[in-house]
Homo-oligomer: A and B are copies of this chain.
Amino acid sequence: MSLEKSPLAPATFPTLPEITGAVPHVSRARYKEWDRCDLTFVAMDEGTAVAGVTTRSLCPSPEVEWCREALKGGTARALVVNAGNANAFTGNRGRAAVEAIAEKAAAHCGCAPTEVFIASTGVIGVPLPIDKAEAGLEAAFTAPEASWEDAANAIGTTDTFAKGATASAVVDGKTVQISGIVKGSGMIAPDMATMLGFIFTDAAAQPTFLQEMLVAAVARTFNCITVDSDTSTSDTVLVFATGKAGNTPLGSFDDPGADAFAAALDNVCGELAHLVVRDGEGASKFIEISVGGAQSDESARKIALSIANSPLVKTAIAGEDANWGRVVMAVGKAGEPADRDRLSIRFGATQVAKDGLAVEGYDEAPVAVHLKGQEIEIGVDLGLGDGRATVWTCDLTHGYISINADYRT
């Protein structure tokens, strides 16, 4: 199946700076019947710190289990990503494939297998073929250095464009770079590290603090997006810090530059998360949903996600239909504190409902104009408290059905 590029894709892949100490390579493992690079190998120098978050699915892939264990060590020397086969729900054979990859990469890098991080994405239930993985890895070892755009392409499956983001910060007098790549388009739901995302920085940071910053960033970014409410068995976001920028390793928010670094990391995570939504399967609109006036931030987030995951809201946006009644419905079903008679709703800059009914003399014309655009904003005020949250999603179109009714064929 060949998919057209999402209409919400950025014009170009951004220029990602080199991250000293992290070198990507790609190769053809041919996990599927395709002629494209589908194995990514990133070699990292000694002294690279690592942090990561993984799916909360109770049926995780062996790769996710491997990463969870390996993260305890806090250091990384290699990342291997397989595209086209998720290797999830494959029992001992799946676990054996992960171990074989870790051992082979460790032997090449001269490190412990637990310093090798592995992620796989694609169809569930088919063991990753060890022979293909080993041959692909061997080819990657000898391949010339790839670009980050090559790597971003190689980790994709139903993605229609390569996704990357970058930011920099001044830490301890040194300018540090943060660059990330991400894949994901369907089976995207919040409440965990969603999809596969890999972020590299030349900053020096202690693993525990790197983890603390990543968890905070993910909560505001990857965990606030949804394409289809379906949560992958393989979701993983990893951040690698090579330390080559030469700053004193960041260990807490009291360290100079820690706030700037955390903000830059937030930016990269946010951009990557939005790019996933922009490549949501079948997406024709990018939708930002802001909920305020809730009893708590968590309550606001649940209500925002109830709206973002509602098929009826998503199809209304696809149809450019200002059917705000469906937003009311989604607020009502969220199960969070809400008072119908205090509820206000906004589409774009236009208030459409206030205090439990349509605004006096409501004019649908500016809303109709807003809905014809590609960037849609829905605002909800519950009028109860100070809790707020913003989430991002896309519309639900015929494209989603077409992509997913014949994914394996």
User: What is the bound-complex CA distance between A57 and B340, given in angstroms?
Assistant: 10
The interface-forming segment of A75-83, A269-277, A308-316 is A308-316
Q: Which of B91, B324, B340, B404 contacts A341 (CB 8 A)?
A: B91
How does the 8 Å CB contact mask read for A151-192 relative to B, with 1 for contact and 0 for none? 000000000000000000000000000000000001101000
Bound state CA distance, A250 and B147, in angstroms? 77
Residue of B92, B229, B315, B323 touching A309 (CB-CB under 8 A): B229
Point out the residue from B55, B230, B323, B355 that lies within 8 Å of A91, measured CB to CB.
B355
Q: Are A324 and B186 in contact (CB under 8 A)?
A: no
Does chain B have a CB within 8 A of A59? yes
In this assembly, does A112 line the interface, its C-beta being within 8 Å of a C-beta of chain B?
Answer: no
- Distance, CA A311 to CA B130, complexed state (A): 32
The answer to whether the Cβ of A332 comes within 8 Å of any Cβ in the partner chain is yes
Supposing A57-B329, A124-B329 touch, asked if A409 and B89 sit within 8 A by C-beta, the answer is no
What's the least CB distance linking A17 to chain B, in Å?
36
Are the C-beta atoms of A89 and B340 separated by less than 8 Å?
yes
Q: Given that A312-B404, A315-B405 are known contacts, is A233 also in contact with B332, CB under 8 Å in the complex?
A: yes
Contact between chains at B400 and A325 (CB < 8 Å): no
Mark A341-371 against chain B: 1 for CB-CB distance below 8 A, else 0.
1010000000001011110000000000000
- Given contacts A230-B312, A333-B57, whether A125 and B186 have CB atoms under 8 Å apart is no
Q: Complex Cα distance A236/B246, Å?
A: 66
A396 to B398, CA, bound (A): 10
- Is B230 a contact of A324 with CB atoms below 8 Å? no
User: Is residue A68 contacting chain B, with contact meaning CB distance below 8 A?
Assistant: no
Partner of A89, one of B186, B315, B325, B405: B325
A89 partner residues in chain B, CB cutoff 8 A: 325, 328, 340, 343, 353, 356-358
Q: CA separation between A315 and B340, bound complex, in Å?
A: 34
B residues near A310, Cβ cutoff 8 Å: 229-230
Question: Do residues A321 and B406 form an inter-chain contact, with CB atoms below 8 A?
Answer: yes
Instruction: Report if A387 contacts B (CB, 8 A).
Output: no
Chain B residues, Cβ within 8 Å of A228: 311-312
Contacting residue for A329 out of B231, B330, B333, B400, CB 8 A: B231
14 more A-B residue pairs beyond the given contacts A58-B338, A89-B325, A319-B404, with a C-beta to C-beta distance below 8 A = A57-B333, A58-B331, A58-B340, A59-B343, A86-B325, A89-B343, A89-B353, A93-B357, A228-B311, A232-B329, A316-B405, A321-B409, A398-B398, A400-B401
A–B Cβ pairs within 8 angstroms, 17 of them: A55-B332, A58-B334, A89-B356, A90-B358, A124-B326, A124-B329, A189-B333, A228-B311, A230-B333, A232-B329, A311-B400, A311-B404, A319-B407, A321-B409, A396-B401, A397-B405, A401-B401
